[in-house]
Structure 1
Amino acid sequence: MLPKPQRPADSRGQTGVETLVVFIATVIVAAIAAALLLNTVLALQSQAIATSEESIEQVTERVQVVTAFGEVDDGRIETVTLRVRTAPGAESIDLSAASVQTVGDGVDPNWSVGVVGSDRSVLTDGSELGYVHVYGESGLPADRGLTPGERVTVRITTGAGATTVYVVNVPDTLAGQSVVEV
């Protein structure tokens, strides 16, 4: 039998140290990658939460038109009053922070009017009613008001950015009436 060849004593330990250094470097690189990935996930999660909360507000924080009526003067409607309440799921809505825009034939599409009058400026639940008044000089055709058969779209945008659209349909006849449902 041949004798087993002898290795130098220091070569065996040196190979183990090199392997250990490579292993530690791999663990450090993996830890840095995991930290970056976790940081990115947390940033995306917070952005997604903020976006979803904003979207929910824009859908739910709106008003709902209960009824609408117009005041008749000289065969035309000079004032439209919308009776509103909070939409289902909405929290408090400050009507003084809302804006109103009217769009239709003869209406200046760039004209934006605020909530002119309200019995309650802050609606806290669906049982409370507020009133939004749109006058001739604040969005309706100022020179003639609304005439029979005319249609005007009223957009109410709350402070949260939620928009409610209501179409005002003037009846075909206004003769002999002082107030009509529109």
Structure 2
Amino acid sequence: MIVDVTDNDERGQVGIGTLIIFIAMVLVAAVAAGVLINTAGLLESTASDTGQDSQAQVSNQIDVVTAVGENTDGDDAVEILNFTVKKSAGSDNIDLEDATIDYQSDTAQQTLSYGAVANSTHFNETSLKGDDDAVLDDTSERVSIRINVTDVDSALVEGSEATVRFVDQSGATTIYGVNVPDSISGETFVEV
């Protein structure tokens, strides 16, 4: 028995036009897949970098252990601020040479960068415990950061306030509020 395959429902389309359309569809799909793969790789890389930056900003913190104001002139005002700092647990190494300190009071605002001598635009540090470098690489290290207030602002009188922001190399910020006691007469050092 011979079967006649002339029914349109059972015949395949064959021809050069159909072949060209099929090849074009495969090429378009390959190009689209390549673009998607490249875009996904770029997004993954960007997300990873953003995640690492965000983690550094959250975990890299400078802890203020103590803050003391010095009344050097005996005029019932704080002229020098001394902060004893350490790196917080879980932080990466904190390089104070790449850090900045933002000082703000009712009468002045100044950003201080690291310098060998403290002046109106610089702060200095002295190692109290640990290495003698400006890098906090262990939570047991203690460094004293000294700010001469009179180079930045008028002295902080009794009852006055200021805000000090420590910003490390990753952009992590630690804010410390300085509050001068209402009475400091006769005292050389006061906790602020």
Percent identity reads: 38
SS in structure 1 of the partner of residue 124 of structure 2: coil
Which residue of the other structure, out of 133, 155, 158, is the alignment partner of 2:165?
Answer: 155
Bigger Rg, structure 1 or 2: 1
Counterpart in the other structure of 1:115: 123
What is the aligned-residue RMSD (CA, Å)?
2.7
Cα 1:130–1:50 shift into 2, 3 Å: same
State the TM-score, normalized to the length of structure 2. Answer: 0.79
Contact 1:75-1:147 at 8 Å conserved across structures: yes
* Match runs of 1:26-45 below 5 Å: 26-45=25-44
Deviations 1:100-140 (A, max 9, x none): 12111222456774332221511102111111111024324
Letter in 2 for 1:49: S
Contact 2:112-2:123 at 8 Å conserved across structures: no
Contact 1:90-1:125 at 8 Å conserved across structures: no
Cα 1:86–1:5 shift into 2, 3 Å: closer
Cα 1:176–1:30 shift into 2, 3 Å: same
Report the structure, 1 or 2, having the larger strand content: 2
Q: Kindly tell me the number of residue pairs found equivalent between the two proteins.
A: 173
Cα 1:6–1:147 shift into 2, 3 Å: closer
Contact 2:102-2:109 at 8 Å conserved across structures: no
State the TM-score, normalized to the length of structure 1. Answer: 0.82
Contact 2:163-2:175 at 8 Å conserved across structures: yes
SS in structure 1 of the partner of residue 14 of structure 2: helix
**What is the CA distance between 1:18 and its match in structure 2?**
4.3
Counterparts of 2:46 and 2:167 in 1: how far apart (Å)?
25
